[in-house]
Structure 1
């Protein structure tokens, strides 16, 4: 067994929150696709026959490890397997016949040890909310679901450190902490189903990275299981521990290529008591850049989010969300959502009002509205947080998660509109405060198509590389970008990643 997919040209082993599988390159032979129009085609790869095929004896062994074969521990029913085999975007689909649902790290260790000995392929899976095909099997891998490992183990109200199992749902953790006056330093649209272990494995960003930083900034410790079953206990809760290599950081953002995260300790900040949200309309992206500069200077430590949406994004939300309303009397090309959060209501309000007066006096906004109560704040955020869902309802969407320098941040949207013209609707939104653009190319009422994809790739990756950007800001590599890593990483960097991978998982085939 191995904890990853075989390296494709110019890429590192593909495994996301977890994959333990290998594929071979081939000029022919298709193993499995979702449909004839599916973007994901296996025509250039085939299953590595050096890996074993699951047997009844294997299933019996797993039953012994898990203490039974009821659906809370193990799934073999074809209909129940469907949701585990397909990703959230319905873009990637595997053909697994077994889902294992361990409850303890020891069970995970035993499962991986057995699979390593028997050369059985595994793809660990968290909440399965990924957007790059990283949490579902490509072929017939066993699915290792972390759903049952969902316990919050401890919380220190002095240090703010919480320790929990990796299958804990982000929203569940948030509710637990809110009741104690603290909050998770991470907020995602998928928080109702994504797992904290998967958030760490993909180094998830989210809408408040500008304030709290990435998972690398907030994770103090991790427990993980390697491909051979070895349990790596790096789950320290100390803020300072300068004793050699900080091994936990190898697992954060590795997408599971180095091990399966089973436990995590995170430092959490106090929950802000004063929250304000402003929605602004702008005429061009240059105004957004100027507003961002002023927001960082004038709002300082209370600035917690700075998001933008172009007009087509708003149109999709209005078309597909029944409760969404046009934000202003007049439509505008761009919209900015600014959130402040602090602990002094009057002070924060005065600071925000002074900032808004300043940008209005300099004609940087066409219109604006300020929300201070929960209901109105929620309405503003809905315009931003339902964009992805709304795009998905309209048809096939080709999604790109890019980091770009602020000077060229929006230009790729304009370039793609010119390139595709009336073939698709190109939209841009995202976390402009930390340089993360979500580029979406929508083809209403159409299916994913390899022919149409050739109009986008590799152009998008080449353009991003030319701008010294990253082809993956927060979604990860998954299956979608395994062959594109060289656009963001040098040959020397990729080689070093290979060496680290092979040193921790020498049984890679």
Structure 2
């Protein structure tokens, strides 16, 4: 039988969890240029005259030059990468962005666009002294068509704020991430973020209706249509979705917001092996059909990490694997009946060993916190090597035991979790501190194994700074050549987010 919910569970806020993680270590990470042995390109050096110019187009308080003020913009969230920027600019409008980029292009000053800085591949922080272009003040909601669900906003809007805004109008954002309280919609679009409910709403190439972006020379590209269908020529918006600020800087987004579900339920189940996880997924697709909105998997070490490091409650006992199933629909009675039949069937079959089901918002949030906090909980162990790959479902978990065997006692933990519904697994390896020997054992080994399975070395986090020299494991040489041609065409001086995405060789 399913366990009753007997634990007194507090509704832990994600912000509290992230604060624990952020404060876990105050040690500054090594400079990226030294850690990864990168040479600075032939860009211009920022002069006092450049700073004076920026102060003519931005108010003085939006031109940061103090080292202490700039430090947070130089370090990524997981403290893996650290840049050396001496200047942060905070525009409030597309026009200001255009002026900044035009000037930087003429002076050959490199620029690093930055949103909420929640990325995991070093794409959102400088490598050397690139000017950080922060979008935190471009956070206005421009319009919402409640009939069509088309939302238009500036790129610095925080994802959770947008979701709260549209929920008051019976809509939801089609994207949901563990970092939703900090990440910006412009960064989400620029990295083609996936998230927890891609199974239900698809990726951003389908949800984004249009974008406004600024090229390196300051030209504003207006593709900000709100139409579901516009088949006029090349679909230029897609150039900016997932290009991580290397082709142009996204300044506005038009996105389709689906109707808010009237009935949401969440199940958290213990499963005895990974084969049964896949069988349970097949059953959920068949039995729950249109109301299935999320199907997440986490192994025992993933959940143990959040329980031990962040003191989060686990509502059920220890099991080798855990599955989180969310349903979202329009008819509570109908949905409850489908879910009940599914549970009865799989409890009887043995695919579900134990679990809990709830539709109470506080309890659902507690379960989601357990899942969403996995990404940060490992940082309490020390240093985390993070890999975000997609592989065929039959091989979804196969890399985790391979890495455990390869690393042995050199790792504190090796664990896997992720979105079974889209084949995306997150593999984390925790060690007491950064270890070059462990890094050499992991890379390129893990990418070679992914390539053998015809998978992708980046499922949703992007390529960023960490993976350009490994992109050939997922992209054919002809595709990489075309990427370079597009970069040369749109950013001939290479000032936009250099050292990122496009490989040098």
Normalization by structure 1: what TM-score? 0.90
Q: Do structure 1's residue 478 and structure 2's residue 464 form an aligned pair?
A: yes
**Aligned residue in 1 for 2:285:** 296
| Structure 2: tracts of 5 or more residues without a match | 1-26, 496-505
Residue 45 of structure 1 and its aligned partner are, at CA, apart by: 2.3
1: CA distance, partners of 2:457 / 2:45:
35
**Aligned residue in 2 for 1:45:** 38
Aligned counterparts, 1:137-286, within 5 A: 137-286=126-275
Q: Given the alignment, which residue of 405, 417, 439 partners 1:429?
A: 417
2: CA distance, partners of 1:452 / 1:93:
20
Instruction: Pick the structure with more helix per residue.
Output: 2
Contact 2:407 2:438 in 1 (8 A): no
**Aligned residue in 2 for 1:327:** 315
Q: Given the alignment, which residue of 407, 413, 420 partners 2:394?
A: 407
2: CA distance, partners of 1:295 / 1:89:
34
2: CA distance, partners of 1:164 / 1:43:
37
1: CA distance, partners of 2:51 / 2:313:
52
| Structure 1: tracts of 5 or more residues without a match | 1-32
Per-residue CA distance 1:239-280 (angstroms, 9 max, x = gap):
111110010011101111110000000010011110000111
Contact 1:307 1:337 in 2 (8 A): yes
Contact 1:34 1:92 in 2 (8 A): no
* DSSP-derived class of the 2:117 partner: coil
**Aligned residue in 1 for 2:22:** none
**Aligned residue in 1 for 2:331:** 344
Contact 2:302 2:416 in 1 (8 A): yes
Q: Given the alignment, which residue of 55, 58, 70 partners 2:47?
A: 55
**Aligned residue in 1 for 2:340:** 353
**Aligned residue in 2 for 1:14:** none
Residue 357 of structure 1 and its aligned partner are, at CA, apart by: 1.0
**Aligned residue in 2 for 1:20:** none
2: CA distance, partners of 1:229 / 1:194:
25
Residue 41 of structure 1 and its aligned partner are, at CA, apart by: 3.5
1: CA distance, partners of 2:375 / 2:268:
19
1: CA distance, partners of 2:36 / 2:351:
51
Q: Do structure 1's residue 81 and structure 2's residue 65 form an aligned pair?
A: no
Contact 1:137 1:143 in 2 (8 A): yes
Residue 363 of structure 1 and its aligned partner are, at CA, apart by: 1.2
In terms of mean alpha carbon deviation, does 353-362 or 179-188 score higher? 353-362
Contact 1:222 1:236 in 2 (8 A): yes
2: CA distance, partners of 1:402 / 1:459:
13
Q: Given the alignment, which residue of 388, 393, 401 partners 2:375?
A: 388
Structure 1 180/76 Cα, relative in aligned 2: closer, same or farther at 3 Å? same
Structure 1 293/39 Cα, relative in aligned 2: closer, same or farther at 3 Å? farther
Normalization by structure 2: what TM-score? 0.91
* DSSP-derived class of the 1:220 partner: strand
* DSSP-derived class of the 1:112 partner: helix
**Aligned residue in 2 for 1:501:** 487
Structure 1 39/86 Cα, relative in aligned 2: closer, same or farther at 3 Å? closer
2: CA distance, partners of 1:43 / 1:325:
38
* DSSP-derived class of the 1:483 partner: helix
2: CA distance, partners of 1:237 / 1:328:
45
